[in-house]
Amino acid sequence: MGRYIARRLLLTIPVLIGASFLIFAMVYALPGDPIRALAGDRPLSQAVMAQLRDEFNLTDPLWLQYVKYVGDLVQGDLGTDFRGRPVLDTILLRLPVTVRLAVVAIAFEVLIGVVAGVLAGIRKNGFFDNLVLVSTTVIVSIPILVLAFVSQFVFGLQLGLFPIAGTTQGWYSYLLPGLVLASGSLAYVARLTRTSIAENMRADYVRTARAKGLPNKTVIVRHTLRNSLIPVVTFIGADIGTLMGGAIVTETVFNLPGIGRAVFDSVRAQEGAVVVGIVTLMVFFFIFFNLVVDVLYAVLDPRIRYD
């Protein structure tokens, strides 16, 4: 197992480098002038612009710029934005917001998604099952963007239950955006759980468990749920890494100062260093949680062995 993890970690390096280089190339290599874009309406003198270009290595060939960037990166230096503020500071300041948002979203996936899936799966084709099927179909068809506004309007403005923007009310502020961010995955988790449970209820080993005269609760919890939740747990694990991408829209609409909002703002401002820094971090999270899931899978299912 240890060797497997080590090998997987090594394999993530090319992906990490490739993805960050891809973004790096888009930000810096495509024709266009970030310095001029930065200047916007304010005319900058040629001298200032040249100085800025030099500072950001913009005169070097692309590959050299990237090598210099990675060289700094491994020393913990993610560069600075055009205002001279270290990118690492921005990330450290913004990350807790996104982490909290992700925690709330995952909690909703587990609380609502898994519970609804279990109840639907145990009584397949019952009323609740059909309710879950219909509502998940509707939920997955609603773009996050739409869901964000509709929930702002209904729960925030009409009912006044939740704040519609900002983080002033602590964890409470994260409930609505967290639910919106989780919605799609939540529906998927409910369906996955339902299918998995309904399949497992018919499994031979569940029949064996009943033939052994085990109490009904043991049959369901120990011999059905335990097995059914393996794919669900691994999906939710992988979803942590994926939620970071979805956070861009949610954080923008709900005005949460997390890294999703930060990356959006810096794309708009063409703040190359911030964009590349945050995207690299997001890619790292994505790869990391996928690795965690693979390891988790082996822990949960003894049939899986990595050698």
Partner 1 sequence: MTILPTPAPAPWGSAGAAPLLDVEDLHVEFRTRSGVVNAVNGVSYTLAEGETLAILGESGSGKSVSAQAIMGILDSPPAEITGGKIWFEGRDLLTLPAEEQRLVRGPGISMIFQDALSSLNPVYSVGFQIGEMFRAHRGTSRKEAKQKAIELMDRVRIPAAAQRVNDYPHQFSGGMRQRVMIAMAIALDPRILIADEPTTALDVTVQAQVMDLLKDLQRDTGMGLVLITHDLGVVNEVADNVAVMYAGRIVERGTVTDVFSNPGHPYTEGLMSSVPQVESDGGRLVPITGQPPNLSAIPSGCPFHPRCPRRRLGAQALPGRDCAGDVPPLRLVVPGREAACHYSEEVLGV
Partner 2 sequence: MTDQQQKDLQHDEVQAGTTTGLAAPSVDVTSSRQNSLWSDAWGQLRRSAIFWTGAVLGVIFVSMALFPSLFARGVDPRDCDLANSKGTPSAAHWLGFDQQGCDYLANVVYGARNSLLIGVLGVLGVLLLGVVVGAIAGFYGRLTDSVLSRIADIFYALPLILGALVLLRVGPSTGLPVISERGPGAVAVALAAFGWMTAMRLVRSQVIAVKSSDYVAAARAMGASDFRILVRHILPNAVAPVLVYATITIGVLIAAEATLTFLGVGLQPPAISWGLQIAQGQSLLRTAPHLVLFPSIILTLTVMAFILMGDALRDALDPRQRS
- State which residue, 188 or 220, has the beta carbon closest to partner 2: 188
DSSP state of 86: B
Angle (nearest 5°) at CA 264 between 260 and 265: 115
- As measured in angstroms, the least distance from the Cβ of 227 to partner 1 is 6
123 lies in the site for partner 1, by CB under 8 A = no
| 252 in Cβ contact with 266 (< 8 Å) | no
Task: Name the one range near partner 1 by CB under 8 A: 28-36, 225-233, 255-263, 277-285.
Answer: 225-233
Residue 112 and residue 180 in contact, taking contact as beta carbons nearer than 8 Å: no
Of 226 and 268, which CB lies nearer to partner 2 in the complex structure?
A: 268
Q: Which one of the spans 25-33, 59-67, 223-231, 267-275 is the region binding partner 1 (CB under 8 A)?
A: 223-231
Contact between 227 and partner 1 per CB under 8 A = yes
CA distance linking residue 125 with residue 107, whole number of Å? 27
Residues 93-132 as x/- pattern, contact with partner 2 by CB under 8 A: ----------------------------------------
Q: Which partner from the list partner 2, partner 1, none does 282 bind, CB cut-off 5 to 8 Å by kind? A: partner 2
Q: Output phi, psi for 57, to 5 deg.
A: 55, 25
* Region label for 195, one of left (φ > 0), alpha (ψ between -120 and 50) or beta (otherwise): alpha
Q: What is the x/- site pattern for partner 1, positions 200-219, by CB under 8 A?
A: --xxxx-xxxxxxxxxx-x-
**Which of 6, 37, 161, 304 is in the footprint of partner 2 by CB under 8 A?**
37
Among 38, 223, 234, 273, binds partner 1 (CB under 8 A): 223
Q: What is the 3-state secondary structure (H, E, C) of 182-246?
A: HHHHHHHHHHHHHHHHHHHHCCHHHHHHHHCCCCHHHHHHHHHHHHHHHHHHHHHHHHHHHHHHH
> Measuring CA to CA, how many Å separate 133 from each of 114, 128, 239?
14, 9, 21
Contacts to partner 2 from residues 129-158, by CB under 8 A: 136-138, 140-146, 149-150, 152-153, 157
Give contact residues for partner 1 (rule: CB under 8 A): 202-205, 207-216, 218, 223, 226-227, 230, 300-303
